[in-house]
Structure 1
Amino acid sequence: MNRRGRVAASLRRLWRQLTSMRTALVLLLLLAVAAVPGSVLPQRSLAPEQVEAYRRDKPALAEWFDRFGLFDAYASPWFAAIYLLLFTSLIGCVLPRLGEHARALRRKPPAAPRNFRRLPAHAEVGDAPAEARPVGERLQQLMRSRRYRVVAYSEDGGHVTVAAEKGHLKETGNLLFHAALLAVLAGVAFGYGWGWSGNRILVAGPDTGFCTGLQQFDEYALGPRLGAEDLPGYCLQLERFDADFLDTGQPTTFQADVTWTAPRAARTGRQRLEVNTPLRLDGANVYLLGHGYAPILRYTDRQGRAQTSVSAFLPVDGMLTSEGAALFPDANADGTSGARSTDAQVAFSGVYVPTVPTSGPLALSAHPAERAPGLLLTAYRGDLGLDNGVPQSVYQIPRRAVDDGRLIQLPEANTLLRPGERWILDDGTSVEFLGTRRWISITVRHDPGEPVVLAAVIGIMTGLVPMLGVRRRRIWFRVLPTSSGCTITAGGLPRVDYPGFAAEFAAAVAAARGAVGAVASVRATGGPPAGTASVADGVRS
């Protein structure tokens, strides 16, 4: 064999190995294992701030994770390689079997073997006072009524053989299962390439609405085949949020009234969001994820100018004890030029307690509803460092500025404010707690592969039923003409052994005996009818 022939032979062996069912199962297992880092580690496309926090906490480990792409697991080359190999393997498995199955459906049931006694199931049906051909026709009708594929063969000497076959639906289900699995992979790939999602905390009020632009999302993930201009551009505003709780603090209902606007289509509407009732729009769905409180603080600086902040505080427990920060970068700005101060900017970190307990720690709420609200504040003054271009979280005090000494905590102890109360700081400025607004966390998602995946999952479940429940089997009847009529014998062959074939074969023999009016012959020894004995003795599973 020349070099080209050896290369071709190697490629054929490699292709057969790749398209084997064993390889497909191994690749499916590898794909499941490869998806583990995406579930365990923070992903840069979904939570970049968590990735940065992980890098700060464990820099050495994070560097190795980054080298192997574990923070972008689903977009990594190794994940894509496993995905494409599995896709190719399944195609190589399904297409040849599909052609073979199509040929098998067109193929007639095979002729009967010469000796029925060599089959796992065989029986003497009996003698019938009729000619062989009409008996063969009645047997064909019988097996068709039992949903067998039937064909009759004429043999030498006037013999008639009826061949019946059943169970091709098993391979149909098998192929449907694997084709649907391919469709799942294709749907996931389509959704990844052309899908997008974004998360946002939406505070109640007309001044805190937002539109679906990338800059306005707290977190977003955009498919590689999309650009920012491809987003539909919906605008959302929270009008009202209601939550009911039991006395134990367990939530019972969440309801959010949201107004939406589609400027491009000049459409608007209002929808009540609940946990399992999303807002479905053309090109996007809006889901309610969580809720909380946003304290309203009014700070009056040294020039007497008042500034109001509405800042969402994030819950830290089931009673909605919440932590957050309120920043006032324009506090004590130059009254003439309007330039920001570099040493008198103000920020407050706080803990909001919807129900201040009558005993115990004040910083732990006794109930998630606002029965006795209170706000614990800690004040900071200095340079917030917001103008240096470094991104930072809006839900906490700029820790880098605190660590650098540019932002200093004021010596006053934590102050508990009730709604309407004011706190006078050491320089005569003041902060007033005006109350709260409700906020909800929402996710806006568009997954064009979702209908494909749904249809594929239905196909998988549909294919599983015949694949697991149907068995291939064949039954033959041979009609031999005699001087007084004909003699009928039967044989059966299950393509895959299963316990129910013995009963099925015995029922078919009994039905054949009744259909043709056969009289079972009696052994010369006076034993039971031959058909009964041979079914009991000859059927093995």
Structure 2
Amino acid sequence: MSDAPVRRPGELTARELLRWTWRQLTSMRTALVLLLLLALAAVPGSVIPQEGVDSLAVTRWKDQHPDLTPIYERLDLFNVYDSVWFSAIYLLLVISLVGCIVPRTAVYWRALRAQPPAAPRNLSRMPDSTSYETDETPEAVLAHARAVLGPRSFGRGHRLRRVPTSSTEKADDAVSAERGRLREAGNLLFHLSVLVVLAGFAVGGLLGYQGGVILVKGSTFGNSLTQYDDFNPGGLFSPDQLDRFAFTVEDFHVDWLTEGPRAGMAQGFEADLSHYTDDTESRDEYTLRVNHPLTIENTDVFLIGHGYAPVITVRDGDGEVAYKGPTVFLPQDASFLSFGVVKAPAAEPQAIGLEGLFYPTFANVEGDPVTLMGDDLNPTISMLAYSGDIGLDDGSPESVYVLDKSNADQLRDAEGDPLRLDLQPGQTQQLPDGLGSVTFEGVEPWVRVQISQSPGKEVALIGVVLALIGLCGSLFIRPRRVFVRARAADGGGASTLVEVAVLDRSGNAEVDELLSDIVSALRGPRPETSAEEKDPS
């Protein structure tokens, strides 16, 4: 007896299972499903703040949702486009498209070189057909049909089935014509364009980078790693690829809406920059606006946000300035109510920390402080004060937008309530116990810019253009076949029965009018033959 294992009915071998898996993966249905999954997988990246785009927004989100943060971190939802599951969908889609396009291209190439098929035996059974009788001979009818349907006649013309030239070949009693073969080329081009777009994104993700920085009016940025607030490089990016340049935020303008339901919101904003590179001695001027980036060599600078930086001075108990300068406050809503932190670790006898809100246009509505609009028409700060250990003594890095109050003492007023500093520009408030004073000097605007290199964006743009071309071809090109058969009528005599049929291969077009036009052209007058055609010599 043989020791070979017995296969159950329907059981697949390992090779057959791999072949079945490959066929399923490379089917057009699977490619469409994976494309839909990729689109759905990108949704969290546009809804949830991303580490590589805005780390400050990620920090705020984590502070506001402490229960969801561990789950989101485990699922890599703060870094969607670099996650394992997103990359797996991406790679499977690429494999599926390649495995789908290559065989279809080979089949299409063979079909493109093949002749139109011979006419069916019974044209009257086709859904769109007609017939008529004429006194012309079948040969004359077929010759005229070739002229009517040929490449240079009847609109854009058709490709005709070759006429037998050898005596051993049976002469056809019908003309077969076909057009619209470029429709499949449009389908293939569309699917190929998806690959091109994916390749462009992959190149940009591997060789490019994206970083962000907040700059107060008048400050200068030099393009080095230490200058960025957040920096997200590609897998193959090297710091040597950074272009050497610098720019200064000279001025900033905001156009505020004053009427309508959106009154108080920013309609548009722009920043005036002066920039230079290591190779230039003079500065160039540029007005940076949303969707109008500044391009310096291979780097793009985008304007993506703005806010306010109150200028605050903190003096310690000895009257010395422990902290002074514009402090970036982060907007919390559309009215630019902003949150910020001030740290003065050098203050004597104790370090001083402040945290609170900035109101661009302060108002007291029924006892509650609010800001009426984003424009700084009535700027006001309202902050709580702390002293002692504010979390900077151990030398560990800490966000400038977070104040560690775990070991600090909150300052209180004479009634024992938490001390709140409510100040407007030019006002000063003393701190209790001789710890010093806080002065609100004024307000400076800040802008947030995104600086990036995207080496694959031209490739992605080409892919998008190819997709539009392919989509237009697949939507507007109507593949069809036309058959004209001429034979002696069954009743005998000199009459000829002409059968005409049109087959729309897209399955969603009305061809009655086309069939009528072809019949009218076939029954119409014959074009006169020129003397040159009669006697080419």
Shorter chain as normaliser: what TM range? 0.7 to 0.9
**1:501-540 to 2 correspondence within 5 Å?**
501-516=511-526
Q: Is the 8 A contact 1:187 1:452 kept in 2?
A: yes
Q: Does 1:169 align with 2:175?
A: no
Q: 2:249 corresponds to which residue?
A: 238
Q: Is the 8 A contact 1:201 1:442 kept in 2?
A: yes
Q: 2:530 corresponds to which residue?
A: none
Identity %: 35
Q: 1:480 corresponds to which residue?
A: 487
Q: 1:252 to 1:22 in 2, by over 3 A?
A: closer
- Which stretch has the larger CA shift, 369-378 or 187-196? 369-378
Q: 2:9 corresponds to which residue?
A: none
Q: Does 1:345 align with 2:358?
A: no
Deviations 1:122-152 (A, max 9, x none): 32243144x5545433322221323211235
Q: Does 1:500 align with 2:502?
A: no
| Structure 2 CA distance for aligned equivalents of residues 352 and 44 of structure 1 | 26
Among 133, 152, 163, the alignment partner of 1:126 is 133
Q: 1:104 corresponds to which residue?
A: 111
Among 190, 201, 223, the alignment partner of 1:188 is 201
> Unaligned stretches of 5+ in structure 1?
333-342, 518-541
Q: 1:367 to 1:55 in 2, by over 3 A?
A: closer
Q: 1:322 to 1:127 in 2, by over 3 A?
A: same
Q: Is the 8 A contact 2:207 2:236 kept in 1?
A: yes
Q: 1:539 corresponds to which residue?
A: none
Among 249, 257, 269, the alignment partner of 2:284 is 269
Q: 1:203 corresponds to which residue?
A: 216
Q: Hey, which of these two has a bigger chunk of helix by percent? A: 1
| Structure 2 CA distance for aligned equivalents of residues 51 and 107 of structure 1 | 59
Q: 1:280 corresponds to which residue?
A: 295
Q: Is the 8 A contact 1:245 1:369 kept in 2?
A: yes
| Structure 1 CA distance for aligned equivalents of residues 291 and 103 of structure 2 | 43
Aligned-residue CA RMSD (Å): 3.1
Q: Is the 8 A contact 1:128 1:487 kept in 2?
A: no
| Structure 2 CA distance for aligned equivalents of residues 51 and 254 of structure 1 | 24
Q: 1:327 corresponds to which residue?
A: 343
| Structure 1 CA distance for aligned equivalents of residues 192 and 396 of structure 2 | 49
Q: 1:315 corresponds to which residue?
A: 331
Q: CA deviation at 1:348?
A: 2.4
Q: Is the 8 A contact 2:364 2:370 kept in 1?
A: no
| Structure 1 CA distance for aligned equivalents of residues 383 and 485 of structure 2 | 95
> Unaligned stretches of 5+ in structure 2?
6-11, 528-537
Aligned residues: 498
Q: CA deviation at 1:387?
A: 3.8
The residue type equivalent to 2:146 in the other structure is: Q
Q: 1:7 to 1:276 in 2, by over 3 A?
A: closer
- SS of the residue aligned with 1:357? strand
Deviations 1:472-503 (A, max 9, x none): 22111123379758553323333343341233
Higher relative contact order at CA 8 Å, sep ≥6: structure 1 or structure 2? 1
Q: Is the 8 A contact 1:289 1:442 kept in 2?
A: yes
Among 454, 457, 460, the alignment partner of 1:450 is 457
Q: Does 1:419 align with 2:419?
A: no
Q: Is the 8 A contact 1:249 1:368 kept in 2?
A: yes
Q: 1:69 to 1:429 in 2, by over 3 A?
A: closer
- SS of the residue aligned with 2:193? helix
| Structure 2 CA distance for aligned equivalents of residues 321 and 492 of structure 1 | 69
Q: Is the 8 A contact 1:239 1:257 kept in 2?
A: yes
Among 76, 80, 83, the alignment partner of 1:73 is 80
Deviations 1:521-541 (A, max 9, x none): xxxxxxxxxxxxxxxxxxxxx
Q: 2:467 corresponds to which residue?
A: 460
Q: 1:422 to 1:62 in 2, by over 3 A?
A: closer
Q: 1:85 to 1:369 in 2, by over 3 A?
A: closer
| Structure 2 CA distance for aligned equivalents of residues 433 and 53 of structure 1 | 25
Q: Is the 8 A contact 2:118 2:176 kept in 1?
A: yes
Q: 2:446 corresponds to which residue?
A: 439
